[in-house]
Amino acid sequence: MKCILALHRDLDGDQHREPGAGLRDDLLGPGLRAELAAVGATRLQVNLDDAEVADAMRFGPGPRITAVVSVWGGTSPRAVAGVVRRRDAGADGWSVEERRPLPGPADADGVRTPALANVAFLRRPGAMTREAWLADWLDRHTAVAIATQGTFGYVQNPVLEAITPDAPPVEGIVEELFPMAAMTDGHAFHGSGGDEEELQRRFATLMESCSRFGADTGLDLVPTSRYSFTL
């Protein structure tokens, strides 16, 4: 079982409150890990839209997402959501089925992955059935995305169900790992090696592929720093 929750609280909290009052400290501190372990979770990943990725692009129709929490294991998705929502009562959550077409590096516990970790929350166009949308994303688009971007990690998470009230109608969540230079360098983002013609070809190919299943407009893109923990 895997659950993903999108949080909206400010990462650093009110400057007039005591140290540790912000969401960042809540998510990276030992308390969250202990509470998740108590409900049977075995692994935690925390993605933060923090100062390390301030120069990266972010956009989307939904409310601002400041952090993404992924949890593996647990007695139930709602038990996991309950633990995370003690940090942010307005967090949105989904249970997902994980696919790893391009596994990223395994980092030591609590060490920032040396990457720009982009997390995208995908919505399905109303004209597409769920079956057609999943097939287009998982079967056709995967190879295009990997071939046209400078990623070294690519994880897809088709949504099984919402696990919090009023969660947005997200159908899939994807995490892509890029070199840090990709925040401001199109060649680093697309892996085009400084060749301008190749950059434009890759960009056009990617955008055409995204438009076929609505990922050119109907998504929230969150640039993050990634931290992993074994519980």
> Residue 189 belongs to a domain with what CATH number?
3.30.70.100
What are the tens digits of pLDDT across the range 5-17?
999 999 987 544 4
Q: Residue range 209-218: average pLDDT?
A: 92
What per-residue confidence (pLDDT) applies to 16?
A: 47
Residue 45 is which amino acid?
Q
In a domain, 62, yes or no: yes
What are the tens digits of pLDDT across the range 38-95?
999 999 999 999 999 999 999 998 889 999 999 999 999 999 999 999 999 999 999 9
In a domain, 230, yes or no: no
Choose among 36, 44, 46, 43: nearest CA to 79.
36
What's the pLDDT band for 206 if we cut at 50, 70, 90? very high
In a domain, 180, yes or no: yes
In a domain, 231, yes or no: no
What per-residue confidence (pLDDT) applies to 109?
A: 95
Q: Residue range 210-221: average pLDDT?
A: 92
For residue 89, the tally of other CB atoms under 10 A from its CB is 10
pTM of the model: 0.95
For the chain, the domain total comes to 1
Range of the structural domain that residue 195 is part of: 2-225
Are the CB atoms for 192 and 202 separated by under 8 Å? yes
What are the tens digits of pLDDT across the range 116-169?
999 999 999 999 999 999 999 999 999 999 999 999 999 999 999 999 999 999
